[in-house]
Amino acid sequence: VLRVAEGSDLRARAERLDRDDPLAAVRERFVLPPGVYLDGNSLGLLPRAVAARVAQVVRSEWGEGLIGSWNTAGWFALPLRVGDRIARLVGAPPGSVVAGDSTSVQLFNTLVAAARLRPGRSALVTDVANFPTDGYVAGSVARLLGLDLVLVDPSQPLDLDRVLDRHLAVLTLSHVDYRTGVLHDMTAVTAAAHAAGGVVVWDLAHSAGALPVDLLGADADFAVGCTYKYLNGGPGAPAFGFVHPRWADVAEPPLTGWLGHATPFALEPEYRPAAGAARLRVGTPPVLSMAALDAALDVWDGIDLADVRAKSLALTDLFVEAVQERLAPLRVQPVVPREHARRGSQVCLRHLDAYPVVQALIDRGVVGDFREPDLMRFGFTPLTLRHADVLSAVDVLEDVLRTQAWRHPRFAQRSPVT
Amino acid sequence: VLRVAEGSDLRARAERLDRDDPLAAVRERFVLPPGVYLDGNSLGLLPRAVAARVAQVVRSEWGEGLIGSWNTAGWFALPLRVGDRIARLVGAPPGSVVAGDSTSVQLFNTLVAAARLRPGRSALVTDVANFPTDGYVAGSVARLLGLDLVLVDPSQPLDLDRVLDRHLAVLTLSHVDYRTGVLHDMTAVTAAAHAAGGVVVWDLAHSAGALPVDLLGADADFAVGCTYKYLNGGPGAPAFGFVHPRWADVAEPPLTGWLGHATPFALEPEYRPAAGAARLRVGTPPVLSMAALDAALDVWDGIDLADVRAKSLALTDLFVEAVQERLAPLRVQPVVPREHARRGSQVCLRHLDAYPVVQALIDRGVVGDFREPDLMRFGFTPLTLRHADVLSAVDVLEDVLRTQAWRHPRFAQRSPVT
């Protein structure tokens, strides 16, 4: 049902880019849906290796190995082993990343640990545009620790300068804004926070696996991230937490579950945190979900994040140009930083009727998502998309808008999860 | 390899009990390992329905349905739907239990919420014998909220009376002690804490699915529990949290992830907790692990917890009597409450060389676990064990002890997970 625009310059460019794409073969590592899936920034595609691995964990490791599999199948080591695989993708040294829990839980744990490194300072600073869970968790941490929650608008550099002062305890930001796709300069922002005497907790939900991240190079203190978006770990896959080696033996995370203990099976009465990122472990890890994530990370073998970034920018450039060239008269306005250095791997389109338009697109196999109040959000996953797919999506969008197909009443109906 | 003691009274009793067992057919719902698995209190057996369900979630719901499965496959509703299935097994009303996160995280969240209901009171009371993670988490909560952590030995009733005074904010206890198998009188202890003006958080790790629990009848305020033991949810399966309906709209859990919000997809800037147990939701649930748990709970269809309790006590009685009758000269001492009303569904045996003896038993197909410093712990899961299995285990234990087979050096070697 997807037709292709013939003869345009963009079409020729897309063909050339696909022909020369060093990542072209990688998509075969995934189960590919029909249509154009532009929601890999909400839930990544299923890597082919996952189903067999999960089946093996269920039938053999759990069903036959039972309790012994904590040792023989390496279940106990999974959070740090998987963490090390993620570490490579976010510029973190081995032993500094742990996989587990949800992003919200990881953020709570690292924010409290971060604030405890700056006793006597009063400000927990975050971004008004930050993903709500980050704001909710920051607010809760501020309440628990008696800190002032300070909200800034980082699109205003002067604002940032104003709040990063001697009161700063912790600054927490999303590396890429979940709505606008704005990419922060992690090195510069971290340096500014450090200059003010604070520590920084980065949320990599929309950057891990989407573009090169260099936590160590940027001197980040803590980070958390999500693995079910660009890392294709599966629905609700375990999140991850990073702690810089300089804090790994002094940070005091508040979620003192037994698996973060230095000697968990000694069952000592007093809590003594393990060395390194292991102190970010909390309770027993969800082995089935963790094994799926582990298998999903196989797709990254041999992949250079520089290629991923180059393709991501080519995909979003192509999308924005096609939209501007063909959809300008249809009241569609791209929301995306023009400058590559400020852009993540997504593009939003503003439209007054964004909700039903997104539903009509999904109905025709072009899957994006809606974000309040008027944004159609499209994620561009370089491992699985072709440049031609981008133009196919614009074809469908143009048709939906021109024919006003989105006005059908069934597209107005809200689902519980949007 | 398991031989059976012939001709004893106990043998005849076991045969009769197995013949008349109303739960006899239930074991066919599980993948049954060879030997005698007495570690279902650490990791329950694999229910037969799980593998197909998990495969379907991976291949169809994730692989094909992708992001749409949050609605069409009911992923979003899973934590409360699964919670309701657990609620029936622990005497909780619908809407009062949520599945998710780890027991440690659930405990942290409910302990802070509980303490916030008693501002101005200074004592967070727990049990010196409590599972270490519970003590670690209680210590962390006490530190965050500026409370005094008070440790009691509830085997001394006078001690309990002494600490449950006007300072009591929160009392938290394991319903069944993970080592000794002592079962607390939930109703009486809760009433005593309430009389002192405090609230109670119960940990049901070793009672949910092992015996009838009546959270509402006992007037419990909060509870948490584990689903990978007697509920057979799989390695690291999601835990659960319970909040009594009287607190469901006033409790303020500190883990304010977006899915605990009243309207999570409106992405409002301010946190407003959802009504009921939904406010114990935190981040995105691990769908694969949650689906496995959901399928695992099917084995409880049509099962009366009274039958489970009766069989559990018959199994532990039989084990204790067989050990006393046959192993007394072999320096083995049962650690288990004699009184049924004080007994969970496990029996420990004290032996100076408990560690290598447990390893030698495992080597012969009798799986229990070791608990510091000198305990062999055996869990009795009424859904999957036969009374004859209990005597087979004692046969093997007797042989291991008489022949001193456990003295082989390979049984002394410690594994990372014991």
CB contact under 8 A, A66 and B286: no
CA distance B320 to chain A (A): 24
pLDDT of amino acid A267: 80
With an 8 Å Cβ cutoff, are A236 and B139 in contact?
no
The residue of chain A with its CA nearest to that of B226 is A284
B230 is annotated as an active-site residue: no
φ and ψ at residue A372, rounded to 5 degrees: -55, 145
Q: Report pLDDT digits (tens) over B350-396.
A: 999 999 999 999 999 999 999 888 999 999 999 999 999 999 999 99
Q: Residue B242 above 60 pLDDT?
A: yes
The predicted pLDDT at position A1 comes to 39
For residue A392, the SS3 value is helix
| Amino acid code (one letter) for A137 | V
Residue count of chain B: 418
The pair of structure tokens assigned to A324 is: 């501007």
Residue A78 forms beta bridges with which residues? none
Sheet holding B346-350, edge to edge: B333-335, B346-350, B375-379, B369-371
| Structure tokens belonging to residue A207 | 């950057």
Catalytic residue of the set A178, A228, A242, A355: A228
| Distance of residue A122 Cα from the nearest chain B Cα, in angstroms | 16
Q: Which of B101, B234, B256 sits opposite A288 (nearest CB)?
A: B234
Q: Report d(CA B352, CA B365) in Å as an integer.
A: 22
State ipTM: 0.96
Check residues A178 and B340 and name the one with the higher pLDDT: B340
Distance from CA of B17 to the nearest CA of A (A): 27
- pLDDT value for B152: 84
Cβ-based contacts of B237 with chain A (< 8 Å): 286
Query: Percentage of chain A with pLDDT > 70?
Result: 96
Please say if the pLDDT value at position A23 is more than 90: yes
Q: Which residue of B has its CA nearest to A61?
A: B235
Range in A5-19, A275-289, B399-413 the model is least confident about: A5-19
* pLDDT at residue B49 greater than cutoff 80: yes
pLDDT digits (tens, 9 = 90+) for A182-195: 999 999 999 999 99
Are A58 and B234 an interchain contact pair (Cβ–Cβ within 8 Å)? yes
**Residue A109's closest chain B neighbor by CA?**
B255
Gap between the Cα atoms of A201 and A114, Å rounded: 8
Known catalytic membership, residue B377:
yes
Quick check: is B355 catalytic?
no
CB A105 within 8 A of CB A113: no
Which residue of B256, B261, B378, B385 to mutate against A (max A Cβ within 10 Å)?
B256
Inter-chain touch B288–A234, beta carbons under 8 Å: yes
CB contact under 8 A, A283 and B101: yes
Residue with tokens 């980065």: A202
pLDDT tops 50 at residue A17: yes
pLDDT of residue A150: 93
More confident residue, A156 or B355: B355
Q: Are B283 and A104 within 8 A, CB to CB?
A: yes
Mean pLDDT over all residues of chain A?
94
Active-site annotation holder among B108, B228, B240, B370: B228
- A-chain CB neighbours of B132 within 8 Å are 258, 261, 267-269
Tens digit of each residue's pLDDT (9 = 90 or more) over B284-339: 999 999 999 999 999 999 999 999 999 999 999 999 999 999 998 999 999 999 99
* B118 and B147 Cβ atoms separated by less than 8 Å: no
**Is residue B1 predicted with pLDDT exceeding 50?**
no
pLDDT at site A292: 98
**Under 8 Å CB-to-CB from A25, ≥6 apart: which residues?**
none
How confident is residue A162, by pLDDT bands cut at 50, 70 and 90? confident
Q: Which residues of A touch B234 (CB under 8 A)?
A: 58, 62, 287-288
A160 secondary structure, DSSP code: H
pLDDT in tens, A349-402: 999 999 999 999 999 999 999 988 899 999 999 999 999 999 999 999 999 999
B338 catalytic residue (yes or no):
no
A203 is catalytic: yes
Give the percent of chain B with pLDDT over 70: 96
Q: What is the pLDDT of residue A203?
A: 97
The two beta strands, B366-367 and B346-350, are unpaired
Query: Per residue in B111-140, pLDDT tens?
Result: 999 999 999 999 999 987 778 889 999 999
pLDDT at A268: 85
Residue A416 is predicted with a pLDDT of 66
Pairing of strands A199-203, B366-367: unpaired
Best of A64, A70, A232, A256 to substitute, by most chain B Cβ atoms within 10 angstroms, is A256
